[in-house]
Each structure stands twice: as structure tokens, then as C-alpha cells.
Amino acid sequence: MQESEYLYSVEFAVRDYECDLQGVVNNANYQHYLEHARHVFLVSQGISFARLHEEGLDLIVTKAEIEYKYPLRSCDKFIVTINIQREGNVRIVFIQNIFRLPDNKLIVKARITSAATKKGKPVAPGDLIQKLGLEYYDNQIKNIRK
């Protein structure tokens, strides 16, 4: 894992209560890790879900694709990485990975698709695209893939 490959990353540690009887992180908790990382990323970009909602715009998850590669265990430290891209007029896709630290073992690969809505109807995310710098990030991701 090269941090320069990702637009954002945040470090966490597994808490005991997140593990199941087998001593590994319960699969549902990985979605919590991914979601929390997305929220921290948005806040780092000056975007508040509460403020968006007050303005009538909601960003909702419409699809979660998660590949579980290897389990985390209690007290493991890990990093969640994020890249983003646009898909169509209303969707923003978060490409996320979870790597265990310090060996950078790939734990989870995820693709989380979200859509912007107003009053429950899909809409173009408007200035959210600029706030996220998606035009810039779209080009940066294309360059990474070359």
C-alpha cells in the first residue's frame, strides 16, 4: 500500500466488543469502519452531513460491494483508505480499502455507491462536486491507473 495512491486515509484500532465468538471482527463492523472513514473524509473537506440535510441535500448509500479478504482481531490497528469518483449525474462512488498495520495486509476491498437526493428524489449533487474536488480527483485517479 502506497499512501500516495489514495486521496485520504484514517487509522483505527479494533475494540474488543467488535469481535464475535470466533475472535475476529464481525463482518457488519467493517461497514461501520468504512462509513466512519467516509464521514471523517467529508468533514476534512469542510462538508457536514447535518448542514447538507438542512439545505435539503442528502447523500445516501445505494450499493455496498465488500470483499472480505482476511479478518481483523481485537486490538489490531488498521487504516481505511479512500478514493472517490463520479458515476453518472447523481452518484458518487467511494473506493475504499482496509489494511492491517503495520504489515499493510489487505483486509477489505469495498466500493460504496452513494446518490444525492432531495426530498427522496435523485438529483445532481451540485456544489458538492466542487467541494469534493471531484473534477480534480477524477483526473488524479485516471493518472494513478495509468
The residues that are catalytic are 20
Record the cell numbers describing residue 40, joined without a space. Answer: 471523517
Record the cell numbers describing residue 43, joined without a space. Answer: 468533514
Cβ 114 vs Cβ 41: under 8 Å: no
Cβ neighbors of 132 (< 8 A, separation 6 or more) are 42, 45, 47, 84, 92
What is the DSSP code string of 105-139?
EEEEEEEEEEEEEETTEE---THHHHHHTHHHHHH
